[in-house]
A and B are shown apart, each in its own frame.
Chain A
């Protein structure tokens, strides 16, 4: 079965700081990779996704992620965070390694101080 590890459980930043959230997955074959965001009291929304092609993926709200196959990683980045980025972030993987039902990491809670 696939597993997804998010190494940072809680991150606290000041506005304008740079952000990098780590995500590693276990399966070595072809996978689809996602980052989702959950704002307080809301459901999950897609930030960005990787299926194939350019390993550097750009998403909404200035977020990007880089797929590094050799490291089984899909880290999320943003050069300058805003207070409105305060949310919980989830990395997810689906693909033929386990099933096409996605597996999620435990999430990273990001708090951005104004």
Chain B
């Protein structure tokens, strides 16, 4: 049981390049989400999904795209990287909407856009 797995852990991109951050969980969780963490800003929600085939925007969705074709995978795509997207990205999952479910985090992806 690996939990939430994110790849890559580190990435440097040039402005305008595109890339995909991968996130997979093996706990059969319905809810998955992507956050970015910036100094003094805490964790801000980018996109989330409440089940396969269902995605929605969070607080800071611009410049990012997601899809949820399977329960396990929730990739985050940067369409045209900008320096403002330099950040640490965390994928998270939680079981379902019932009370009492803990949020599980991946180990983070450090992205630098130059």
Chain A interface residues (CB < 8 Å from chain B) = 6, 9, 30, 32, 34, 36, 42-44, 46, 49, 51-52, 90, 92, 94-96, 99-107
Collect the chain B residues with CB atoms within 8 Å of residue A103's CB: 45
We find that the number of chain B residues with CB closer than 8 angstroms to chain A is 26
Q: Which residue of B lies closest to A108 (CB)?
A: B42
- Asked whether B45 lies within 8 Å of A106 as measured between CB atoms, the reply is no
* Complex CA–CA separation, A99 to B51 (angstroms): 13
Collect the chain A residues with CB atoms within 8 Å of residue B94's CB: 94, 100-102
How many interface contacts (CB-CB < 8 Å) are there between A and B?
64
- Asked whether A49 lies within 8 Å of B31 as measured between CB atoms, the reply is no
- Asked whether A43 lies within 8 Å of B45 as measured between CB atoms, the reply is no
* Complex CA–CA separation, A52 to B45 (angstroms): 25
Chain B interface residues (CB < 8 Å from chain A) = 31, 33, 35, 40-45, 48, 50, 58, 90, 92, 94, 96-97, 99-103, 105-108
- Asked whether A44 lies within 8 Å of B105 as measured between CB atoms, the reply is yes
Question: Which one, B43, B100, B102, contacts A90 given CB within 8 A?
Answer: B43
**Min distance, Cβ B82 to any Cβ of chain A, angstroms:** 23
- Asked whether B90 lies within 8 Å of A44 as measured between CB atoms, the reply is yes
- Asked whether B103 lies within 8 Å of A102 as measured between CB atoms, the reply is yes
